[in-house]
Chains A and B, each alone.
Chain A
């Protein structure tokens, strides 16, 4: 499995889109936060676009291996499909974490806010969110095995999240269920960090089980 992880790492580092998205995220967020006093609340509220972008990148990173049949090399390298899946999840999670946390960390350093307890909480929240997004990407890619369809479905998922969390009737309930919606609840102390972590781990487990079922039954 070590070789699979090394390969995924090599692919990630050689992927121009990965670096382009990092630059894009820094650029977009710099424009969005230009001239404003950056607080943890404003970071949490305005990072939705970043979340969607990194989620779509993660989905594409995995799905293109299935679509372009590069998975064949991994299968012929003597590794089981489960090991291949775990290596992909691990490195996708790493890539997503880098993209997701690059702006808050840069801002944290620039504004010297690393002493701020809220920023630490914020980073923990986004760490778990990054893990969730990598599982979501893996599940989408394993179900559809095509970049277009997986990305399309990931967009639909995020749209549903956005609409339901902002709904006046079900918004509060949905925010307790959907990971992105929960962030605000944690920052406003409606939900504890532990509850948030447990909810995301449950999500991760469900997505992992679905992805494993798919990959076991999959033909390429």
Chain B
């Protein structure tokens, strides 16, 4: 297991209020990590600390095995990032923006056309970035973060505000980067269904504390399966579930939906009992918690 970035007991305070409390994280090389948390949970602050835009008040940051401040500056060359919004030179073209990054990193200008192709902006010619759509700006931001061929890419809400087409484009781009370049990616987003399609590992953060780290497989195991029943006779269904099926782990949602947990192998039995009691549900299916529902359960909402 090769670690690209490690946070050991990192805490950060703003006006004596803890924004991050004793955060411990280990990010392995070549994986995509989804960073999930509500607004103000500490995602961006964690990313800012990793990139050197903010300093931790406690704890140690280790990048590629290096933790001392002087050498970590050198190690940060291996990081590419978009924090909050892509920082672009609005009066320059996409090509000029990438050229500025090549100058900064001392990279050959030959990478520009390759990156423009990768982010799908090779046909934008002399159009200034000011006139780009949000999706194009996000893609250019990712392109700029890739100029120095980083080993570690940090993307803070890269799909925020994008239309469905833009979201799909960015999703494919991120997957492509990870597959072709073996880049470690830490990505935060509030669109959890999108994260679910992209990432290998999840980091759940709430009120400045990491509440859980789990892999995609672990999440799938942990998300509860349930029998979903749609009917307007929920009172009668409740009685049947409690008295005849003797199941306690269920809930009624929105007055017309019943979720019976951990009973996916009892669907036939449930349907038979309902039929004998004269109940005809409008729908019955086996389903499971989404990442969103799992997250809300974990943060106790």
| Residues of A bordering B, CB below 8 Å | 3-4, 6-7, 10-11, 14-16, 68-70, 72-80, 219-220
B101 & A72 in contact (Cβ 8 Å cutoff) = no
From the candidates B74, B85, B89, name the one contacting A78 in the complex (CB within 8 A): B74
A75 & B53 in contact (Cβ 8 Å cutoff) = yes
Residues of B within 8 A of A3 (CB): 103-106
Residues of A within 8 A of B99 (CB): 10
B103 & A75 in contact (Cβ 8 Å cutoff) = no
A75 & B51 in contact (Cβ 8 Å cutoff) = yes
A4 & B104 in contact (Cβ 8 Å cutoff) = yes
A72 & B51 in contact (Cβ 8 Å cutoff) = yes
B103 & A10 in contact (Cβ 8 Å cutoff) = yes
Residues of B within 8 A of A15 (CB): 91
B79 & A76 in contact (Cβ 8 Å cutoff) = yes
Residue of A nearest to B84 (CB): A69
Q: B175 near A: Cβ within 8 Å?
A: no
Q: B143-187 interface mask toward A, CB cutoff 8 Å, 1 = contact, 0 = none?
A: 010001000000000000000000000000000000000000000
Determine the distance from Cα of A74 to Cα of B77 in the docked complex, in whole angstroms.
10
Determine the distance from Cα of A7 to Cα of B106 in the docked complex, in whole angstroms.
10
B87 & A75 in contact (Cβ 8 Å cutoff) = no
Residues of B within 8 A of A77 (CB): 77, 104-105, 148
Determine the distance from Cα of A79 to Cα of B104 in the docked complex, in whole angstroms.
10
Residues of A within 8 A of B54 (CB): 219-220
Q: B68-109 interface mask toward A, CB cutoff 8 Å, 1 = contact, 0 = none?
A: 000001101101110111011101100010011101111000
Determine the distance from Cα of A6 to Cα of B89 in the docked complex, in whole angstroms.
16
In this complex, which of B73, B81, B96 has the most chain A Cβ atoms within 10 angstroms of its Cβ?
B73
In this complex, which of B54, B104, B106 has the most chain A Cβ atoms within 10 angstroms of its Cβ?
B104
Q: A3-B106, A75-B76 are in contact. Are A10 and B87 (CB under 8 A)?
A: no
Minimal beta-carbon separation of B61 from chain A (angstroms): 14
Determine the distance from Cα of A148 to Cα of B81 in the docked complex, in whole angstroms.
26
Residues of A within 8 A of B96 (CB): 14
Residues of A within 8 A of B89 (CB): 11, 14, 70
Minimal beta-carbon separation of A131 from chain B (angstroms): 25
Residues of B within 8 A of A74 (CB): 104
A7 & B53 in contact (Cβ 8 Å cutoff) = no
From the candidates B76, B85, B100, name the one contacting A76 in the complex (CB within 8 A): B76
Determine the distance from Cα of A138 to Cα of B96 in the docked complex, in whole angstroms.
25
Determine the distance from Cα of A77 to Cα of B102 in the docked complex, in whole angstroms.
10
Determine the distance from Cα of A15 to Cα of B128 in the docked complex, in whole angstroms.
12
Q: B55 near A: Cβ within 8 Å?
A: yes
Minimal beta-carbon separation of A145 from chain B (angstroms): 12
Q: A10-B99, A76-B79, A76-B80 are in contact. Are A69 and B87 (CB under 8 A)?
A: yes
Minimal beta-carbon separation of B66 from chain A (angstroms): 12
Residue of A nearest to B86 (CB): A69
Q: B48 near A: Cβ within 8 Å?
A: yes
Minimal beta-carbon separation of A66 from chain B (angstroms): 10
Residues of B within 8 A of A80 (CB): 73
Q: A73-B144, A76-B76 are in contact. Are A6 and B81 (CB under 8 A)?
A: no
User: Which 6 A-B pairs have CB atoms at the shortest separation, nearest pair first?
Assistant: A78-B77, A70-B87, A219-B54, A220-B53, A69-B87, A7-B104
Q: B40 near A: Cβ within 8 Å?
A: no
A73 & B103 in contact (Cβ 8 Å cutoff) = no
Residues of A within 8 A of B83 (CB): 69, 72
Q: B65 near A: Cβ within 8 Å?
A: no
* Pairs A–B under 8 Å by Cβ, sample size 5: A15-B91, A69-B83, A72-B51, A74-B104, A75-B51
A219 & B103 in contact (Cβ 8 Å cutoff) = no
Residues of A within 8 A of B79 (CB): 76
B52 & A75 in contact (Cβ 8 Å cutoff) = yes
Residue of B nearest to A14 (CB): B92
Residues of B within 8 A of A70 (CB): 87-89
Determine the distance from Cα of A75 to Cα of B89 in the docked complex, in whole angstroms.
16
Known contacts A77-B148, A78-B76, A79-B73, then 20 further A-B pairs from the complex at CB < 8 Å, ordered by chain A residue: A3-B104, A3-B105, A3-B106, A6-B104, A7-B100, A7-B104, A10-B103, A14-B89, A14-B92, A15-B91, A68-B88, A69-B83, A72-B51, A72-B53, A73-B104, A74-B104, A76-B80, A78-B74, A80-B73, A219-B55
Residue of B nearest to A65 (CB): B87
Residues of A within 8 A of B52 (CB): 75-76
Residues of B within 8 A of A78 (CB): 73-74, 76-77
